[in-house]
């Protein structure tokens, strides 16, 4: 099989959460541990950082990888889901996994896939860990897939654990209250291992304190250590002020990155305490050049200016709140939203947050989890959102661009998959 055929085999053969949703979710570590044993435990052959959280874990993971890479380390990065190409999930120093490695790994381990029957996530995580071990990375940044306690990635023994924040998402798996969700995320806290909490709420702080005390894990709340405030936008980058580092240029321009930056700065300090040689120049370069260094896309990504077009992968209540707050601060004559969601999200709560004084182009990605565009449009009308539905992302974007004037703004989002297809359509792929 070639690369394309191998990926098609993986999607068809293994349960795939990002395409199928909850039916593909396999909580627990049994399959993963069996896979690791078969592969001679590659996860024990490199140092790691473990990153969990409802929102921001992808950005924080990429920031940390970029900073470490700027400091001269060989850095593995494992994240999910991908937006366009499978290789986005597994990178070393920003370079996607060699397609031939993917082909060879699947061919070599097909028999064990048959006997263990792992999920797609379990199999690709095993691939990532083997790839990092084979390439002798200095350290790998590992993003949790879902939750933490029962997530496949929770077999690692990291040098540092990071939990960005807690909000409502995947409530069917993680619980329907913030403290229950926090309990699942806190499952990545390991014995005697420092942990950084990016944002703590009244409902979640006690959960983290209790778990950290139980594990004798040094606990650090980023909000207590770093104050970050917005200053300006310069040449496509956000400029912020830090109470400890002064002025910082940031390669990701979403205002919600202020919280993530505090988390990153606290995490970097802990890495310095652990002996990593990260000077201020490397730190600032990593924060400024995160996109160039890691290939991250889809985080308040402005891809054109006239009309301004923005793509963002925020898709739950917490993420949408931040997006709407920034959208309302932008100066434009009219706002056009190309919007689609998957059907296992809290769609009603998201729709209730969206601005009513905008034109909507409801659409759907080409996955079975997508909520049909017409159904989404009808549901949105209950919240005073008016627009038209389109059966695919390409049509929706085309109509929005045709309708928008040079002084308007177009936002594309609601789902990772909508953003991924938009990037392909707009030929804006790293």
Please check the confidence at residue 19 and state whether its pLDDT lies above 60. no
Is residue 177 classed as helix, strand or coil in its secondary structure?
A: coil
pLDDT at residue 176 is higher than 90? no
Confidence at residue 365, expressed as pLDDT on a 0 to 100 scale: 94
Task: Give the confidence band of 362 by pLDDT, cuts at 50, 70, 90.
Answer: very high
Q: What is the pLDDT of residue 109?
A: 95
pLDDT classification of 15: cutoffs 50, 70, 90: low
Mean pLDDT of 313-322: 88
Question: SS3 of 107, please?
Answer: helix
430 in any annotated domain: no
Mean pLDDT of the chain: 92
Mean pLDDT, residues 137-152? 92
Instruction: Give residue 173's pLDDT.
Output: 52
Residue 169 pLDDT: 58
- Assess whether 113 and 207 both reside in one domain: yes
- Domain's final residue, options 294, 310, 327: 294
Do 312 and 233 lie in one domain? The reply is: no
Among candidates 370, 429, 376, which has minimal Cα distance to 19?
370
Phi-psi region of 175 (alpha: psi -120 to 50; beta: other; left: phi over 0): left
Q: Are residues 205 and 329 in the same domain?
A: no
Q: Are residues 275 and 313 in the same domain?
A: no
- Please indicate, yes or no, whether residues 273 and 306 belong to a single structural domain of this protein: no
Domain range spanning residue 101?
3-294
Percentage, residues of the chain above pLDDT 70: 94
86 three-class SS:
helix
Instruction: Count helices and strands (H / E) in the chain.
Output: 18, 17
Residue 72 has pLDDT above 70, yes or no: yes
Q: Is residue 209 located within the same domain as residue 340?
A: no
What is the domain count for the chain? 2
pLDDT at position 203: 86
CA distance to 295, 415, 417, per residue, from 82 (Å):
11, 12, 9
pLDDT at residue 170 tops 60: no
Summarised one tens digit per residue, pLDDT across range 188-224 is 999 999 999 999 888 889 999 999 999 999 999 999 9
Do 284 and 372 lie in a common domain? no
Which one of 294, 325, 356 terminates a domain? 294
Task: Name the residue among 185, 163, 164, 181 with its Cα closest to residue 172.
Answer: 181
Average pLDDT over residues 70-92: 96
- Average pLDDT (391-399) is 96
Q: Is residue 222 part of a domain?
A: yes
Least confident of 6-15, 76-85, 368-377: 6-15
Q: In the prediction, which pLDDT does 146 show? A: 82
Q: Terminal CA-to-CA distance of the chain, rounded, Å?
A: 25
User: Is 344 found in the same domain as 265?
Assistant: no
SS3 category, 139: strand
Confirm whether 211 is domain-assigned: yes
Question: Cα(217)–Cα(154) distance, rounded to whole angstroms?
Answer: 16
User: What pLDDT, in 10s, does the model give residues 31-48?
Assistant: 899 999 999 999 999 999
Global pTM value: 0.94
Long-range Cβ contact pairs of 90-97 (< 8 A, separation 24 or more): 90/124, 90/127, 90/128, 90/131, 91/65, 91/294, 91/295, 92/131, 92/132, 92/135, 92/137, 93/69, 93/293, 94/65, 94/66, 94/69, 94/292, 94/293, 94/294, 94/295, 96/295, 97/127, 97/128, 97/131
Mean pLDDT of 138-166: 93
Model confidence pLDDT, tens digit, residues 220-258: 999 999 999 999 998 889 999 999 999 999 999 999 999
The answer on pLDDT for 135 being more than 90 is yes
The answer on pLDDT for 175 being more than 80 is no
Segment among 64-78, 122-136, 144-158 with least mean pLDDT: 144-158
Say yes or no: 141 and 283 in one domain.
yes
Is the pLDDT assigned to residue 22 strictly greater than 70? no
Report yes or no on 7 lying in a domain.
yes
Q: How large is the average pLDDT for residues 286-314?
A: 94
Q: What is the CATH number of the domain that holds 325?
A: 3.90.190.20
Show which of 238, 272, 294 is a domain's final residue: 294
Residue 20 belongs to some domain of the structure: yes
Beta strands in 40-189 (DSSP E): 47-52, 75-78, 90-92, 95-96, 139-143, 160-163
Give the CATH number, domain containing residue 150.
3.40.1190.10
What DSSP line would sit under 378-413, residue for residue? HHHHTTT--EEE-SSHHHHHHHHHHH--TT-EEEEE
Say yes or no to pLDDT of 18 above 70.
no
What b/e string do you get for 254-287 counting C-beta neighbours within 10 Å, with b at 16 or more? Answer: bebbbbbbbbbbbbbbbbeeeebebeeebbbbbb
Residue 26: the pLDDT is 53
**Is 393 part of a structural domain of the chain?**
yes
How sure is the predictor about 180, in pLDDT bands with cuts at 50, 70 and 90?
Answer: confident
Q: What is the pLDDT of residue 79?
A: 97
What single string gives the DSSP state of each residue in 252-314?
Answer: ---TTHHHHHHHHHHHHHHHHHTT----HHHHHHHHHTHHHHH----SSEEEEETTEEEEE--
Same-domain pairing of 120 and 196? yes
For residue 247, what are the CA distances in angstroms to 6, 257, 275, 287? 46, 15, 25, 12
Q: Is residue 236 part of a domain?
A: yes
At 319 the pLDDT is 86
């Amino acid at each position: 099989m070639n690369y394309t055929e191998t990926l098609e085999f993986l999607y068809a053969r293994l349960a795939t959460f990002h395409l199928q949703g909850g039916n593909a979710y396999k909580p627990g570590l049994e399959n993963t541990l069996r896979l690791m044993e078969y592969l001679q435990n590659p996860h024990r052959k490199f140092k790691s950082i473990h990153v969990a959280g409802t929102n921001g874990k992808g950005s924080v993971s990429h920031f940390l990888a970029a900073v470490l890479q700027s400091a001269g380390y060989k850095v593995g990065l494992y994240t999910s889901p991908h937006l366009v190409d499978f290789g986005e999930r597994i990178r070393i120093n920003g370079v996607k996994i060699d397609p031939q490695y993917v082909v060879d790994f699947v061919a070599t381990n097909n028999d064990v896939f048959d006997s263990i029957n792992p999920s797609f996530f379990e199999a690709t995580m095993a691939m990532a860990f083997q790839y990092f071990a084979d390439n002798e990375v200095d350290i790998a940044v590992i993003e949790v897939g879902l939750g933490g306690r029962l997530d496949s990635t929770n077999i690692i023994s990291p040098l540092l654990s990071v939990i960005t924040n807690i909000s409502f998402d995947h409530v069917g798996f993680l619980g329907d209250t913030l403290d229950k969700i926090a309990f699942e995320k806190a499952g990545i806290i390991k014995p005697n291992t420092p942990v950084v909490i990016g944002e703590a709420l009244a409902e979640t702080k006690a959960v983290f304190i209790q778990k950290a005390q139980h594990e004798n894990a040094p606990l650090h709340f980023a909000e207590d250590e770093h104050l970050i405030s917005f200053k300006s936008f310069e040449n496509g980058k956000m400029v912020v002020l830090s109470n400890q580092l002064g002025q910082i240029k940031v390669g990701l321009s979403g205002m919600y990155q202020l919280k993530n930056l505090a988390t990153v700065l606290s995490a970097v300090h802990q890495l310095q305490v652990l002996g990593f040689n990260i000077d201020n120049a490397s730190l600032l370069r990593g924060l400024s050049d995160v996109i160039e260094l890691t290939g991250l896309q889809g985080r308040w990504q402005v891809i054109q200016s006239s009309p301004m077009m923005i793509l963002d992968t925020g898709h739950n209540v917490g993420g949408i709140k931040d997006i709407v707050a920034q959208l309302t601060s932008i100066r434009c004559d009219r706002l056009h939203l190309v919007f689609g969601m998957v059907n296992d999200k809290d769609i009603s709560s998201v729709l209730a947050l969206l601005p009513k004084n905008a034109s909507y182009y409801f659409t759907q990605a080409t996955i079975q989890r997508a909520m049909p565009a017409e159904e989404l449009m009808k549901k949105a009308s209950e919240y005073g959102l008016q627009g038209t539905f389109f059966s695919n992302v390409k049509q929706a974007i085309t109509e929005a661009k045709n309708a928008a004037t040079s002084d308007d703004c177009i936002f594309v989002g609601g789902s990772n998959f909508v953003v991924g297809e938009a990037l392909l359509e707009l030929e804006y792929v790293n």
